[in-house]
Chains A and B, each alone.
Chain A
Amino acid sequence: MNLHFSGNRALILGGTCELALALAHAMIESNLFPILACRDDKGLSAIREALASFHGRYATCYLNFGDRDSLDSTFIQIGDDLSFLVDFAQGNYESLIAGADEDIVYSYFMENISFRAEVLKRVGRAMLKKRKGRLVYISSAAASRPNPGQGFYAAAKLASEALYRNMGLELGERGVTTVILRPGYIEAGRGRIYLQKQDRKILEMTPIKRAITGEEIVQTILFLLSDSAAGINATEICMDGGLTSGK
């Protein structure tokens, strides 16, 4: 399937994760220009190493979730010319609700929800100038079916999904649309670690009896960014092999 994209420059939040780097690779091959956001020099090195053969065909920027000053400098650096946003950024805080540290809870929600709302405001206004833009939020099947200990993670994901969904409702008529992807168990990043810890037994509960591959996620994101998926707006798509559809 040949995909056509209306635009070129794509900001990738959480740009150092395995999926983000694979997506950047695929984007470059599709003649898109990814701008990968990272928190620090370590992240910058990881991006440069992963994309070493694509010098000049991508950019990087610093963005530290929760640090509002970094947001200003990031947008001064990358400017307003953005056609796409793909948001992988997500801090993790695993704890039973009744056992949580209040200070961590407050900062976790500030970083993962309030700060994200501010990022969305900036990106939305930049896209509104061109009356064109596409945003993809990478959520998780755990947003609707969390395991014990994932309450804060699920709450942050659901709140972030709501922000993206509303953005698509509010700006859709001006050409700025959103979609949320909820992957299930993935053979990449934290998902791979979790699957190894569980000795992969959890996959027996999945109708397709396997994890979703990183490549499947990447190709799905590319499709969601393309003109072919333009009618998919302000909604979530579950990509978990059917796991959350059954008992």
Chain B
Amino acid sequence: MSDTSESEGHMDVFAELKKILKELLDLEDRELTPETLLIQDLGAESIDLLELAVTINSRFKIAVKDDEIFLKRFRLYSTDAKKQGKDAVHFLAGRYPFLGEDRIAEIMAHIKEGPQLKIRDLISYVTYRSQGA
């Protein structure tokens, strides 16, 4: 896939995700960007995330693992990596293959500020899974 078509694909996914989030979280006038944090900025609760997973599964026709897409075990894996003396970024990249190592490092740098799940992470997941991964 060329850079252009990949970028267009991301835009389609982003547009659909925005639509879904606005419907589910009743965010009609809220501006959403790929950098929007789902939990900290939008106040998404666990029931919202569950409904989001179900809707993503339905709209994009992809299998969704809730623990994976919402990075639910990110802290746990990070702790596991430290306990095992492994490089945490590399270790987490194995657990979250849809995230690049740069993004994982970024999440780790801000994890103490609260859950770091962003719309761009959902885009990465949907794109990754849509490619049959």
Contacts and interface: CB of A to CB of B under 8 A. Distances in A.
Interface of A: 80, 125, 128-129, 170-171, 173-174
Contacts of B57: 125
Contacts of B53: 125
Contact of B54 (A125, A170, A173): A125
A129 B47 contact: no
A173 B58 contact: no
B58 A170 contact: no
16 contacts: A80-B58, A125-B50, A125-B53, A125-B54, A125-B57, A128-B50, A128-B51, A128-B54, A129-B54, A129-B55, A129-B58, A170-B47, A171-B47, A173-B47, A174-B47, A174-B51
A171 B51 CA distance: 10
Contacts of A80: 58
Interface in B47-85: 47, 50-51, 53-55, 57-58
Nearest to A171: B47
A170 B66 CA distance: 16
A129 B58 CA distance: 8
Interface of B: 47, 50-51, 53-55, 57-58
A69 to B, nearest CB: 16
Q: Determine the main DSSP class of A at the interface with B.
A: helix
A171 B55 CA distance: 15
Contacts of B47: 170-171, 173-174
Contacts of A129: 54-55, 58
Given A171-B47, A174-B47, A174-B51, 13 more contacts: A80-B58, A125-B50, A125-B53, A125-B54, A125-B57, A128-B50, A128-B51, A128-B54, A129-B54, A129-B55, A129-B58, A170-B47, A173-B47
A171 B46 CA distance: 11
Contacts of B54: 125, 128-129
Nearest to B64: A125
Contacts of A125: 50, 53-54, 57
A174 B48 CA distance: 10
**Nearest 4 pairs between A and B by C-beta?**
A125-B54, A128-B54, A129-B54, A128-B51
Contacts of B51: 128, 174
A174 B47 CA distance: 9
B69 to A, nearest CB: 14
Contacts of B55: 129
Contacts of B50: 125, 128
A174 B53 CA distance: 14
Contacts of A171: 47
A173 B57 CA distance: 21
A231 to B, nearest CB: 20
A128 B24 CA distance: 12
Nearest to B50: A128
A129 B55 CA distance: 7
